[in-house]
Structure 1
Amino acid sequence: ALIEQEMSAERYIEIPEEIQDIYRIWRPTTLYRARRLEKALDTPAKIYYKYEGTSPPGSHKPNTAVAQAYYNKKEGINRITTETGAGQWGSALSFAGACFGLEIKVYMVKISYMQKPYRRIMMETWGAKCIPSPSTETQAGRDMLAKDPDCPGSLGLAISEAVEEAVGRDDTHYSLGSVLNHVLLHQTINGLEAKKIMEQIDEYPDIIIGCVGGGSNFAGLFLPFVKDKIEGRKPDLRIINVEPASCPTLTRGPYSYDYGDVAGLTPLMKMYTLGHGFIPPPVHAGGLRYHGMAPIICHLLKLGLVEARAEHQLGTFEAGVTFARNEGIISAPETNHAIRVTIDEALKCKESGESKTILLAHSGHGHVDMAAYEAYFAEKLKDYAYPQEKIEEALRDLPKV
């Protein structure tokens, strides 16, 4: 069923009742008007945010985790391996596994495993096993440790380990938390809700903003809207993808075929990429440290239908603190990237006097990311732009297609 969804040409696919039953725990999620933030910025802009932090794991990730767990269970699979960066996806699949009685094993990028121990504890509470990547349990992990014993890990490497284990066992499937078409499809429940709610209050966004790592969070919000731009009903709609300057996939990577993982076990995908061998710096926005991007987002960027922007981490934390002190929500470091650009666009409206409507994809809370905030307040964080020579080095291994 998931492969059929990946390749489907259908515009709509019905959500099974068993999935909807679990969604009802937290869905639909709320669309908020950020009135206190608007007042603090003294902007004529209207800022709305769709908040996904009310799900049990605290992010948008269960939208696809529940669906993938359901379809695997229906197929008779009782064990799933996966990767996770900051831990949102791993905890979401662990939650979904508990809902359907599945055994879950998560390879977590080592730097995040060390920075965010409570994510691991969340996974274990839901019955999953979580280990740091690179590990000694797979050939891909052992090869990397032999080359660099202190390797901080990467999403591409964690994917390789999870895929390798799944391929080696008949009772196990692999599950991916972002990038692929079916993952984006499951996430569009968020955008469909947002569009419906905005219709009910007679609003439509001029600008939609979200953070991107693999792209599923933001695509889930903007895809139901971009259709209006493609069909000419909203030609001036702006859609801004925000990524970290330390992992500038859309803003500095070439548009090329590449693997989704370090070992080259996945199919080739046409996407903006920093090279599948890319090992990102250990910044705190672990969910955004991926070398590639959802092919759907990449295609839309290539066509000029969406925009991309890269932000440094100090500015994003400053924005996150401003948001918390006005709206009350402590946001995930990933989400702070989108908040930074939302504030910047609202301030541009202040300068121009325009009253634009901004819709922010708020992907989740930062309650288990407080070590990142602690480092920010202690002035231990630094801005980091990924060196061009490092990008060129990683791109040398792009497959020749």
Structure 2
Amino acid sequence: MVNKDLIPKYWYNIIPDLPKPLPPPRDPPDAEFSRIELLKKILPREVLRQQFTIERFIKIPEEVRDRYAIIGRPTPLMRAKRLEEYLDTPAKIYFKFEGATPTGSHKINTAIPQAYFAAEEGISHVVTETGAGQWGTAVALAASMYDLSSTIFMVRVSYEQKPMRKTIMELYGGKVYASPTDLTEFGRKILKENPNHPGSLGIAMSEAIEFALNHNFRYLVGSVLDVVLLHQSIIGMEAIAQLDELGEEPDILIGCVGGGSNFGGFTYPFIGAKKGKKYIAVGAAEIPKFSTGKYEYDYPDTAGLLPLVKMITLGKDYVPPPIYAGGLRYHGVAPTLSLLIKEKIVEWREYKEEEIYEAAKIFMKTQGIVPAPESAHAIKAVIDEALKAKTEKERRVIVFNLSGHGLLDLGNYESIRRRVEK
């Protein structure tokens, strides 16, 4: 039985605690229409209000906390005792297990409030995009909780790699399409240029927004924007309380990064509370935005329908290779996280497929949990930091966010295994 009293009553917003003001979103020069004004037609009103709030704490509606309880919040904070023993490290390793939710990842934490705010506004249909399928699954479930219809544009390469994600979304009531599609003008344009286009998160995002505008539906956003990281702060708020109960003070906090929502949601409450000495954001070496991306104004979506935001980016037209971790195939980094990296408050790492595969196998064998390939990037960084603690003979407390399980990623793991172990 979930004790609702253990679920935080507030989300945390890092905006007022950033080391310098966040560069504001803006319209492109000589724009034929205002992207900022367009947001009013795209997002539910309360979601838009929260996107631009500078309040440090936002009260979580009781109806949302009720739904959080239904999906198993607070999620468990677990100690990776056997991993510690395997590595023979003096470090203590804890992980927040977001894979314990019904949809198997952290994404449901923002899907529920966004669907709630849409329903409160009288909206009947919501639209979104999804990369690896975790976000789309969360939207399909959250929409069904509030009797909303949902349409999901899924990046084509993930649609083909992970057919069971499509099945789950459809079982929840969602309509799922492989992006790029012929349902939108932008999708048709991409397909005309390349009928076999693998798709990208930026393209799927543009299709979802265009589709929502054409039908007067509302768009739910899965990462990057401030409001998403705000909702995801439920992870870090819970983790702080759980560590306090154990009498532990974290030294190192780690999470993987696609757009930045699970990393920000996990670490931002710690950064705001000045808990922890090191924060490590981990990406895929095959999508080298940390190492080669530029910190500049860019569009979050490929068609340029959303306002320009200042972020670390590989460019809106960048088409990521069809790698094993679809959730990391995004061209940019959340503006707040980009700023924290530029100010050297957050460190970064990038790992290759072979490295994360070995890390995932170690975690499976020691802890019994199959991590999502995205989350395996965080595990690789945890292993490196634990071995460093061993070399330096220092007792450190390492905490990471296991953002999702990989039970629907076994096809990807099998393809990695064929490549790596041939």
- The TM-score range, normalised by the shorter chain, is over 0.9
| 2:153 counterpart SS class | strand
Match of 2:102 in 1: 56
1:199 alignment partner, one of 244, 250, 253: 244
**1:57 maps to amino acid:** T
Q: Distance in 2 between matches of 1:23 and 1:347?
A: 36
SS in 1 for 2:215: coil
User: In the alignment, what sits opposite 1:110?
Assistant: 156
Write the distance in 2 (CA, Å) between the matches of 1:135 and 1:156: 13
Which residue identity is paired with 2:310? K
Matched-pair contact (CA < 8 Å) for 1:250–1:272: yes
Contact persistence 1:375–1:381 (CA under 8 A): no
- Return the match for 1:257 from 284, 287, 297: 297
Aligned to 2:282, what secondary structure does the other structure show?
A: strand
Please say if 1:190 is aligned against 2:230.
no
Any conservation in 2 of the 1:250–1:298 contact (CA below 8 Å)? no
Larger deviation, residues 90-99 vs 139-148: 139-148
Query: Which of 154, 158, 182 is the aligned partner of 1:136?
Result: 182
Asked if 1:28 is matched to 2:96, the reply is no
Please tell me whether the aligned partners of residues 232 and 264 of structure 2 are also in contact (alpha carbons under 8 angstroms): yes
Alpha-carbon distance in 2 for matches of 1:60, 1:381: 31
1:381–1:210 CA distance, 2 compared to 1 (3 A): farther
Q: What is residue 93 of structure 1 aligned with on the other side?
A: 139
Q: Secondary structure at the match of 1:205?
A: coil
> Matched residues in 2 for 1:258 and 1:157: separation?
14
Q: TM-score, normalised by structure 1?
A: 0.92
Stretches of 4+ aligned residues off by more than 6 angstroms: none
Partner residue of 1:165?
211
How far apart, in 2, do the equivalents of 1:96 and 1:251 lie? 36
2:50 and 2:175 mapped to 1: Cα distance?
A: 28
User: Quick one: which of 287, 301, 309 aligns to 2:327?
Assistant: 287
Distance apart, 1:372 and its partner CA: 1.2
Aligned residue runs from structure 1 range 240-251, under 5 A: 240-251=280-291
Q: CA deviation at 1:379?
A: 2.5
1: CA distance, partners of 2:406 / 2:170:
19
Matched, 1:345 2:385: yes
Per the alignment, residue 391 of structure 1 pairs with none
SS of aligned partner of 1:195? helix
C-alpha contact 2:278 2:347 (8 A) present in aligned 1 = yes
- CA deviation map 1:38-97 (0-9, x unaligned): 000000011000000111101000000001000000011111110000000000000001
User: Which position in structure 1 is the counterpart of 2:165?
Assistant: 119
Larger CA deviation: 306-315 vs 104-113: 306-315
Partner of 2:42: none
User: In 2, are the aligned partners of 1:314 and 1:381 still within 8 Å (CA)?
Assistant: no
Residue aligning to 2:278: 238
2:401 is the counterpart of 1:361? yes
Cα RMSD over matched residues?
A: 1.2
Instruction: Tell me how far 1:227 sits from its aligned partner.
Output: 1.3
SS in 2 for 1:192: helix
- Alpha carbons 2:354, 2:420 under 8 Å: kept: no
Per-residue deviation at 1:228? 3.3
Separation in 2, partners of 1:269, 1:320: 34
Amino acid at match of 2:347: E
Secondary structure of residue in 1 paired with 2:59: coil
> Are 2:106 and 1:66 aligned?
no
Pairs aligned (count): 376
Q: Whole-Å Cα distance in 2 between the matches of residues 347 and 184 of structure 1?
A: 30
The aligned residue for residue 371 of structure 1 is 411
Match of 1:2 among 25, 47, 68: 47
| Pairwise CA distance, 1:178 | 0.5
Partner of 1:275 in structure 2? 315
Unaligned runs of 5+ in 1: 383-401
CA distance in 2, matches of 1:20, 1:218: 21
CA distance in 2, matches of 1:52, 1:251: 28
Give, in angstroms, the shift of residue 251 of structure 1.
2.3
* 1:84 to 2:130 alignment: yes
Among residues 7, 16, 39, which one is paired with 2:85 in the alignment? 39
Mark the CA change 1:48 to 1:277 in structure 2 (over 3 Å): closer, same or farther.
Answer: same
CA deviations over 1:342-364 (Å, ceiling 9, x no partner): 00110111111111110111101
CA distance in 2, matches of 1:263, 1:7: 23
Choose from 152, 162, 184 the match for 2:198: 152
Equivalent-residue separation in structure 2 for 1:210 and 1:247 (angstroms): 16
Rounded Cα–Cα distance in structure 2 between residues aligned with 1:274 and 1:324: 33
1:307 and 2:352 aligned: no
How far the C-alpha of 1:2 sits from its partner, in A, is 0.9
Deviation at 1:380, TM superposition (A): 5.8
| Alignment TM-score, normalising by the size of structure 2 | 0.88
* Secondary structure in 2 matching 1:40: helix
Matched, 1:210 2:249: no
Which amino acid counterpart does residue 296 of structure 2 have in structure 1? S
SS in 2 for 1:32: strand
- Which secondary structure does the structure 2 equivalent of 1:239 belong to? strand
Aligned residue identity for 2:65: Q
